[in-house]
Structure 1
Amino acid sequence: MLNTFLLLLAVLALLSIIFEEVTHINKAKTTLFLGCISWITLFIAAPTATDASAVDQQLEENLLEIATLWLFLMSTMTFVAYLNAKGMIQIVVGKLFPQSINVRLLMIQVAIFSLLLSAICDNVTATLVSLGLLTTFKLESNIRRRMAVLIIFAVNSGGVSLITGDVTTLMIFLDGHVKMGDLLMLVIPAAASVVLLSVLFSFKASGRVYANTTTQTVETVDVIIALIFVSTIVMTMVLNIFFAIPPVLTFLTGLSVMFLVGKTVHTDTEEIRILEYIRQVEFDTLLFFLGILLLVGMLKQIGVLEQLAAVYASHNPDIANYVTGMGSALLDNVPLTAALLKASPELSLAGWLGLTYAVGVGGSLLVIGSASGIIAMSKIEELTFVSYLKYVPALLLCYSGGYLLTLFIGHWIS
């Protein structure tokens, strides 16, 4: 009875996201409310003090994960907000992209840019920077939405081939199931599926678009902070690989350096202005993450993820991996992958590569299925849960194609 009620809360949260445009109630508010209610219910329903203590411990672990993500997002968003306001992103776009470009070519270039960027840094940073590209071009509403969907898929695809790009890839690698060279082979299906999606999206796109020209003056401090941002991304990877330092700690350090530079270079007034960029962080996005992750933590607490792992182990691995990837569009792929690794399934190399690709890319099938999608939905006004659904057939086709190519490569290198 308890589990049924809690599952009902999760379904209500999903419905509140789907029908946000009908109810006009911010999805961040509804998911946060239902996420909190689900944990309060777990405490009330605990039969003994020992059980309540176990729930409390799980909640603390869940909140620690959320707090880590919050701080990481806040650090990244502050950097991006500053660089965007100073015109640095526009300058980079001006160097990489021409002032006038064919829409179809732009889609392919943005897709490849997002794919490569997400392979060397986290999905959050890659998404924010890639979405920043869209603001530099005068795009029609439907083209902007289509390109946002393309960015989501490209960012999620780019992270699967390197342990620095996706947490689930790192988890499977650390568990000893794949080698670095094996993972690098995933670049082929990831790139192929992203290019295919960009081609599909470009069929109904025509004409040229023009970059928004800006006359903003770039100061020395802006260049310094841009270099700090890039250095922070690089150091995040290096320190995490060699010393296992959490990415959030490195990014907070980079943010503190940014503020210290502001104090050194600018007057007190200017320094306050730099600190004010924290206010430009969209806390609706953070609250939405909080609500979603509370609900996922609740599902983990009541054993739903373990049940899914048991079902997974009883089916053909190739089919199970494919369906698991689709399931990661509804459930956080990190606890889902952790549950599957705990089940210790007997998989071939092709099976492990298939699982790595599926849980990394499958979240793209729904806008709420990945951090990239949630950020994009908060940043792009035209992108909603319902409007995203029209692209699901194309996304499913590209996901399926990439998955089949992954299996073929896996069997070939075995």
Structure 2
Amino acid sequence: MHSILQMVLIALAVIALLGVVLEDVIHINKAKVTLFLGTLSWVLLYIFHGHHSTEEVSHGFEENVAEIASLWLFLVAAMTFVAYLNKKGMIENLIHLFLPKQIKERQLLFLTAIFCFIFSSLADNITATLVSVTLILSLNLSRKKTIRFATLVVFAVNSGGVSLITGDVTTLMIFLDQRVSIVDLLMLSVPALLAVVLLAALLSRGMRDTITIQTHRTDVRGVDIAIGVVFLCTIIGTIILNVLFEIPPVLTFLLGLSVMFLIARFYHDDEVETPILEYIRVIEFETLLFFLGILLLVGMLKEIEVLDSIVRIYEVLPPIVANYLMGILSAAIDNVPLTAALLKAGITMTEVEWLGLTYAVGVGGSLLVIGSAAGIVAMSKVDGLTFGSYAKYSLLLLFVYTVGYVASINFSQLMLG
């Protein structure tokens, strides 16, 4: 019964993935497909739990839901900030402050790459993607060019997070397990940035037009500036409090969100403009439901020990090759439980190989749009960015990922001697 149940549950996960891939063909929203199959898989696991006890299944489900709730609340806070600042024209004003009235598309592509890389290493990937995509959408580029920019954003955001413990959860996990040091992690910024710049150069082919940026600035009110400052302080505070006191980012962002509400009330903005709480209702709940379904499926796969069996690849392949494949696999399986399974497996690797794994699982999710939180957020915000439209760049992304991975190994070996 256990083997049959496992096969059925794996089949449900595969069907869910196909539902996302074929969304444009079957015309069924990906959030509906993943949510249905994610919840159904846990119901089946409860009923036919095989060698697991009901208590073990309940414990696994509670852990899974706790992780999802933390992500949900964080997304709600981050998206509400961005929705407000975008509605009030703060982000658009920021563009006009730093960008010239006219700029070549190629130059803009490189500026976008560098901005995403730096910002995502300081903030979390989701916030960096939300801000970056909002900036791109405000430029009113053609759909094809917007998708190209969005593809660069996803790769750059994921690449920026691998060299700092504040930039990516998997980097933090590997650091806390004492596999690498902060100084050694900083070395990854060089090959990671190299790969991002290479991708920008490859994507810039044929982009020769000049973009005229319309200067129609919105009047900025005191309350808008105050909330913008709170958002910035929330991002910085998240980094500092997490490093010094290990305070979860979701807690800091919820604190920032509550301060945002209180400031709006202090300025009597609730009485004059749209009530500040209304901005929660305009965020992308489709994205949240999609996350919910995907993470339920991943949690189920972890519960039936499918993820644990993946680490056996290290028994037949050298760690450098296995790490490279783990990065590719992270495009289909969430990199957090995948990294957790690798850390718990007791795999013995050198520091160079652990750094290679850090790069691989951090950047490999960029190969598919559903492979990372950045990709899912971008897909929900950019019209026309689907699994299929993003997949057109997958071979190019695989090439750049390979270059970055090889560079990370060679550069780490050079620096560590």
TM-score normalised by length of structure 1: 0.98
Match of 2:33 among 30, 33, 41: 30
Are the equivalent residues in 2 in contact too, given 1:186–1:406 (CA < 8 A)? yes
Match of 2:60 among 58, 61, 80: 58
Q: Is the aligned partner of 1:9 residue 2:12?
A: yes
Alpha-carbon deviations, 1:199-219, whole Å to 9, x = none?
A: 000012120112243342110
- Cα distance between partner residues in 2 of 1:3 and 1:84: 45
Q: Once superposed, what is the RMSD of the aligned Cα atoms?
A: 1.2
Name the structure 2 match of 1:356: 358
Distance 1:266 1:212, change over 3 A: farther
- Cα distance between partner residues in 2 of 1:25 and 1:99: 42
Name the structure 2 match of 1:377: 379
Are the equivalent residues in 2 in contact too, given 1:313–1:345 (CA < 8 A)? no
Q: CA deviation at 1:410?
A: 1.6
Deviates more, 1:194-203 or 1:215-224: 215-224
Are the equivalent residues in 1 in contact too, given 2:269–2:276 (CA < 8 A)? no
Aligned length: 413
Are the equivalent residues in 2 in contact too, given 1:358–1:403 (CA < 8 A)? yes
Q: CA deviation at 1:42?
A: 0.2
Name the structure 2 match of 1:392: 394
Name the structure 2 match of 1:320: 322
Are the equivalent residues in 2 in contact too, given 1:225–1:258 (CA < 8 A)? yes
Alignment of 1:5-404 (within 5 A): 5-47=8-50, 51-270=53-272, 273-404=275-406
Are the equivalent residues in 1 in contact too, given 2:137–2:146 (CA < 8 A)? no
Are the equivalent residues in 2 in contact too, given 1:39–1:298 (CA < 8 A)? yes
- Cα distance between partner residues in 1 of 2:368 and 2:47: 33
Q: Which runs of 5+ in 2 are unaligned?
A: none
- Cα distance between partner residues in 2 of 1:202 and 1:215: 29
Are the equivalent residues in 2 in contact too, given 1:337–1:359 (CA < 8 A)? yes
Q: CA deviation at 1:413?
A: 2.1
- Cα distance between partner residues in 2 of 1:283 and 1:410: 41
Distance 1:211 1:136, change over 3 A: farther
Deviates more, 1:110-119 or 1:342-351: 342-351
- Cα distance between partner residues in 2 of 1:215 and 1:92: 9
TM-score normalised by length of structure 2: 0.97
Alpha-carbon deviations, 1:343-364, whole Å to 9, x = none?
A: 1211112101100000000000
- Cα distance between partner residues in 1 of 2:208 and 2:68: 42
Q: One-letter code of the match for 2:253?
A: F
Alpha-carbon deviations, 1:344-400, whole Å to 9, x = none?
A: 211112101100000000000000000000001111111100111110111011100
Alpha-carbon deviations, 1:151-178, whole Å to 9, x = none?
A: 0000000000000000100111111111
Deviates more, 1:283-292 or 1:133-142: 133-142
- Cα distance between partner residues in 1 of 2:131 and 2:147: 16
| SS of residue in 2 equivalent to 1:281 | coil
- Cα distance between partner residues in 2 of 1:267 and 1:194: 42
| SS of residue in 1 equivalent to 2:275 | helix
| SS of residue in 2 equivalent to 1:274 | coil
| SS of residue in 2 equivalent to 1:273 | coil
Alpha-carbon deviations, 1:227-269, whole Å to 9, x = none?
A: 0000000000111111111110000000000000000012542
| Identical aligned residues as a percent | 54
Q: Which runs of 5+ in 1 are unaligned?
A: none
- Cα distance between partner residues in 2 of 1:35 and 1:329: 18
Are the equivalent residues in 2 in contact too, given 1:138–1:211 (CA < 8 A)? no
Q: One-letter code of the match for 2:14?
A: V
Alpha-carbon deviations, 1:41-63, whole Å to 9, x = none?
A: 10110258x71121011001100
Q: One-letter code of the match for 2:22?
A: F
- Cα distance between partner residues in 2 of 1:356 and 1:370: 15
| SS of residue in 2 equivalent to 1:163 | coil
- Cα distance between partner residues in 2 of 1:409 and 1:226: 39
Distance 1:267 1:181, change over 3 A: closer
Q: One-letter code of the match for 2:18?
A: L
Deviates more, 1:89-98 or 1:167-176: 89-98
| SS of residue in 1 equivalent to 2:343 | helix
